[in-house]
Amino acid sequence: MKIGLILQMLSKEIFNFIPTPSYVIFESLLKKNLQILSTLQDETSVKILLAQKCFSMFYFYPLIEKYLSGTAASGLFEAKLAKEFFHGENHVFAPAYKSEEIEEIAAICEHVIFNSFRQVEKFAGIVKKNSHQVGLRINPEHSTQTHAIYDPCSPTSRLGVRFNEFEKIVETQPELLKMIDGLHMHTLCEQNSDALDETVDVLIKKFDRQLRNISWINLGGGHLITKNDYDIDRLKRIIKKLQNNYDLKIYLEPGEAIALNAGFLVATVLEIHQPINGISNVIIDASAACHMPDVLEMPYRPAVVGDIPNGKFKYRLGSMTCLAGDVIGEYSFDKPLNEGDKIIFEDMAIYTMVKNNTFNGMPLPSIIAVDENNNFKIVREFSYEDFKNRLS
């Protein structure tokens, strides 16, 4: 069911009572994604982890843990969040670990994945002391995307061990290889299973010998499994190929697939300027730079409920901040906007709460959960104290 239709089924009055700006997450939409992922686990024995770097709304962790196998963290704080609120496997990967944090990380994470053989040499013994698994991230050096900022396989990438580095270790420090229980490979970003398929072919060609000496592989994230056009059957074939050829336990750690299209950012129109070349600038109480940074980083134009192609009334939605480029995009509607109207941005559960900031003293959006009966609950509101306490 399309997001717009779901919203139409709700009482329009619900948005009149929601403070703005707010992230609004729908339990029913989240559960729809989780059911798809849970079915994939059941049919393939793959283990799916919540990548917290994308979605860390721990209010919903009790729901998510009913469907998924665990979490993936990017460092100590995310690992501690998972340990506190999620009852499942706790995996962590970081490009480097700090000596003063590795003991705690190794104690609470069942899988600790390193980015280099030097890190393995320094810290793997601490992980093994806790009877936990040591992983190593590899770089197959095969790019399948055009967004350089999100490409871990770029020529200058700092992420993952390349094949030639592996071969040197085989000759010079073979004892390090015995410390490694599994491999990790993250190369995708918002992609279908065809990109994974061709990357796995490269993986097998380059790292066949290494794959025969490990017990598990983590294929990372970037898999849009819950998107309508995602080829799940092809993903199943890829998983089965690795399982049959190497007898491996397979992990996936998508973030976006879990909360894809499950949330919205709701804002209020504060002021509408006179048209310039037929398009009016609209000031709203939400910000691309502060509340949805990927709009400027990717960049992309988020969907807005009610926006139609070639609508009669055209607007450029911008923020309260002083940044001239803090513009979300141009939109058109069949009815004019008025001060006080609500603007509802779609697909705002992912990479929003985890990346937002208080530039210009902008308030952080409230976090709101909507249950399956369409009752909403304000999970968290932010105040001046939250802004002040980030500063000195």
Q: In the chain, what are the domain boundaries?
A: 3-21+263-348+363-388, 27-258
Is the separation of the CB atoms in 157 and 148 below 8 Å?
no
Are 267 and 284 spatial neighbours (Cβ–Cβ below 8 Å)? Answer: yes
Neighbours of 142 (CB within 10 A): 17
**pLDDT tens-digit readout, 212-234:** 999 999 999 999 999 999 999 99
Give the three-state DSSP class for 91.
Answer: strand
Predicted confidence at residue 9, as pLDDT, reads 46
Largest Cα separation within the chain, whole Å, is 70
Fold observed for domain 27-258: TIM Barrel (3.20.20)
Three-state secondary structure readout of 122-169: HHHHHHHHCCCEEEEEECCCCCCCCCHHHCCCCCCCCCCECHHHHHHH
Write the DSSP string, 231-281.
-HHHHHHHHHHHHHHH--EEEE--SHHHHTT-EEEEEEEEEEPPPBTTBEE
- Please tell me the predicted confidence (pLDDT) of residue 11: 47
CATH superfamily of 3-21+263-348+363-388: Lyase, Ornithine Decarboxylase; Chain A, domain 1 (2.40.37.10)
Q: What is the pTM of this model?
A: 0.95
pLDDT for position 7: 56
Q: Answer for the pair 86, 258: CB distance below 8 angstroms, yes or no.
A: no
Cα–Cα dist 265/349, whole Å: 8
The proportion of the chain whose per-residue pLDDT surpasses 70, expressed as a percent, equals: 97
Per-residue pLDDT of the chain (392 residues; tens, 9 = 90+): 455 555 554 545 677 789 999 999 999 999 999 999 999 999 999 999 999 999 999 999 999 999 999 999 999 999 999 999 999 999 999 999 999 999 999 999 999 999 999 999 999 999 999 999 999 999 999 999 888 889 999 999 999 999 999 999 989 999 999 999 999 999 999 999 999 999 999 999 999 999 999 999 999 999 999 999 999 999 999 999 999 999 999 999 999 999 999 999 999 999 999 999 999 999 999 999 999 999 999 999 999 999 999 999 999 999 999 999 999 999 999 999 999 999 999 999 999 999 999 999 999 999 999 999 888 999 999 999 999 999 98
